[in-house]
Amino acid sequence: MNVDFIRHIVNPVLNKYMVNQEKTRVLIEVKKLFQQSEEVYRFSIYNGDPRNLAAFLKSDNFTRIVNILKSAGMTYLITEILSEALASYSGIKEVEEALNQALDSLKRETRVETGERGKEDVISMLESMLKNTNLFKRIERGRNSLTAETYNGWLLRVSSSKKGYKLKINYTKNYHGSKTSKLMEEVVGIAEWINSLRL
């Protein structure tokens, strides 16, 4: 076993999602709780036993971390951590069982809260798809929402509610001085494009 839960799985995932001040504040707190738990349960590969991870996953410490991420609208993050850990620790039976139980519990709770196809899963899937296009200079997750800004003035926002999903698209561009003919040309072009979408 050469994969350490905190250093090779938890920290890289947390660091990846530290994209704004609000998320960073929450994730720094979560990182501290993971580190404190490592000291208590000694599941590090460096000075402990990875099998102890099973006890941690069934502990109040882990439940507290999950609840913090849930309240911040970041359940997808703990799911990603557990999924990566499952791939790395599949050879340790008790850890594999504890990881599967934790993942199953999260899936059940998501279904109860948001319906069979969890809204967080849909938002996560959209986030991943948009990131893979490399068309956006900024993509931010919120609580049940996703905002993405392109390099040329488009702003997309997807939000979920009990009724379903809402897509909102804004376009911003400044025209100065005598560029009114360009403005009119582009407005007509955008109107024709919107009409062609047949949404």
Whether residue 177 is found in the same domain as residue 154:
yes
Whether residue 129 is found in the same domain as residue 177:
yes
Whether residue 92 is found in the same domain as residue 156:
no
Domain count, the chain: 2
Helices within 42-118 (DSSP H only) = 53-57, 60-71, 75-88, 93-114
What's the pLDDT score for residue 2?
Answer: 80
Whether residue 139 is found in the same domain as residue 124:
yes
Domain containing residue 60: 5-114
Whether residue 80 is found in the same domain as residue 142:
no
Q: What is the mean pLDDT of residues 48-60?
A: 95
What's the pLDDT score for residue 198?
Answer: 58
Express each pLDDT in 2-29 by its tens digit: 899 999 999 999 999 898 888 899 999 9
The C-alpha atoms of residue 17 and residue 77 are separated, in whole angstroms, by 8
Express each pLDDT in 143-155 by its tens digit: 788 899 988 888 9
Whether residue 92 is found in the same domain as residue 145:
no
Of 66, 94, 114, the position where a domain reaches its end is 114
Higher pLDDT, 125 or 158: 158
- Across 10-14, 37-41, 106-110, least confident range: 106-110
Tell me the range of 41-45, 104-108, 194-198 where mean pLDDT is highest.
41-45
DSSP-assigned letter for residue 148: E
**CB contact set of 37 (below 8 Å; sequence gap of 6+):** 56, 59, 61, 62, 65
Whether residue 100 is found in the same domain as residue 172:
no
Whether residue 123 is found in the same domain as residue 68:
no
Q: What is the mean pLDDT of residues 183-191?
A: 81
Of 114, 141, 167, the position where a domain reaches its end is 114
Whose tokens are 């001085």? That residue is 177
